[in-house]
Amino acid sequence: MTWLITGGAGYIGAHVVRAMTEAGERAVVYDDLSTGIADRVPDGVPLVVGSTLDGERVARALNDHTVTGVVHLAAKKQVGESVDLPLHYYRENVEGLRVLLQAVTAAAVPSFVFSSSAAVYGMPSAAREGALVTEETPCVPMSPYGETKLAGEWLVRATGRAHGLSTASLRYFNVAGAAAPELADTGVFNLIPMVFEKLTEGVPPRVFGDDYPTPDGTCVRDYIHVADLAEAHVTAARRLAAAPGTDLTLNIGRGEGVSVREMIDRINEVTGHTLAPTVTPRRPGDPPRVVASADRIAAELAWKAKYDVHDMITSAWEGWVRLRPEARRG
């Protein structure tokens, strides 16, 4: 099999490329390098620089490399930015996907894995009741970004049914960590890098609200190591290749909640920093608790996360201090 990995120069995509090639699959990266880094693409893996909006370029890449499956990670992913730039997000994430699917069906590529997100659930009712979020939990996205992911799932499923394409939409929960320091996330959009940034500046990290109906009053999330997530892609991709007509929608999480306060305590333990967080008012739209049920992926793919939160923080910190050595204490 040869897999075209769109967004393969990005944080998660680079991990998927590495997991795929280590598992013996051939990979080709397709990326416009808008947020990706070419150096993340390993030697021996071709990099085609192009946008998913460029159907001719995609078609040529599928043909030139005799692609037999696509893992589509290329997208814009910042929730706040999507509120300000909805047209841009719909164009990149939905129109880019439509153009890509058109080329995929024209070339009769049989397998398609799509990067979705827990953002499709929005403020899940299950979370309010303290239950786990299953794939049957109603999807009510609260941002244009989440909407583009849900619309993307619909488009992928409808195309799969109409054109005999095997599909999997993978709903990632909170992704963290790195398989190697040079593959670490360079953005500061998630809790762990946001806390690292504050600690590096010598400023207390912030907790947005400590009066939620959770054990310590701070929001609870489900964190997944990016190396585990990448392994899940390999497993899903192989399932699609082996079983034509597959149509999967799967949460990828650990099924364990960690509060913001617990996370900051663990980050302080790993980094040696001791700054106590300051509590500021709640941010609008933050659900108290979003924790995945990981039962369906365990049943469907026999996949289970191997790494814990300590592994995520340790590996993310190694990547962080590689770029910012001043962050290390002492």
Ligand X SMILES: NC(=O)c1ccc[n+]([C@@H]2O[C@H](COP(=O)([O-])OP(=O)(O)OC[C@H]3O[C@@H](n4cnc5c(N)ncnc54)[C@H](O)[C@@H]3O)[C@@H](O)[C@H]2O)c1
Q: Is 51 in the site for ligand X (CB under 6 A)?
A: yes
**CA 267 centroid distance within chain:** 21
* Cα-based angle 206, 316, 209 (whole degrees, multiple of 5): 20
Buried b (16+ CB within 10 A) or exposed e, 178-214: bbeeebbbeeeeebbbebbebbbeeebbebebbebeb
Does residue 155 touch ligand X according to CB under 6 A? no
- In order of 13, 54, 73, 100, 130, the CA distances from 2 in angstroms are 15, 21, 16, 16, 42
Tell whether residue 117 is a contact of ligand X (CB under 6 A).
yes
Q: Which is nearer to ligand X, 75 or 291 (CB)?
A: 75
In the residue annotation, 307 being an active-site residue is answered as no
Q: Taking Cα atoms as reference points, which of 291, 252, 247, 243 lies closest to residue 15?
A: 252
Site string for ligand X, 175-214 (x = CB under 6 A): x--------------x------------------------
Q: Is 92 in the site for ligand X (CB under 6 A)?
A: yes
- Cα–Cα distance between 222 and 124 in angstroms, integer? 14
User: Which of these is catalytic: 30, 89, 90, 145?
Assistant: 145
Of 3-32, which residues contact ligand X (CB under 6 A)? Answer: 6-7, 9-13, 31-32
E strands in the chain: 2-6, 26-31, 47-49, 69-72, 111-117, 166-172, 174-176, 206-208, 220-221, 223-225, 247-252, 258-259, 278-280, 289-290
* Residue 54 vs 216, nearer CB to ligand X: 54
**Residue 81 or 262 with smaller CB distance to ligand X:** 81
Least Cβ distance, residue 211 to ligand X (angstroms): 26
- Residues 4, 17, 28, 36: which binds ligand X (CB under 6 A)? 36
172 makes contact with ligand X (CB under 6 A): yes
Q: Which stretch binds ligand X (CB under 6 A): 34-42, 103-111, 206-214, 287-295?
A: 34-42
Binding site for ligand X (CB under 6 A): 6-7, 9-13, 31-36, 51-53, 73-77, 92, 96, 115, 117, 172, 175, 190
Catalytic sites, residue numbers: 145
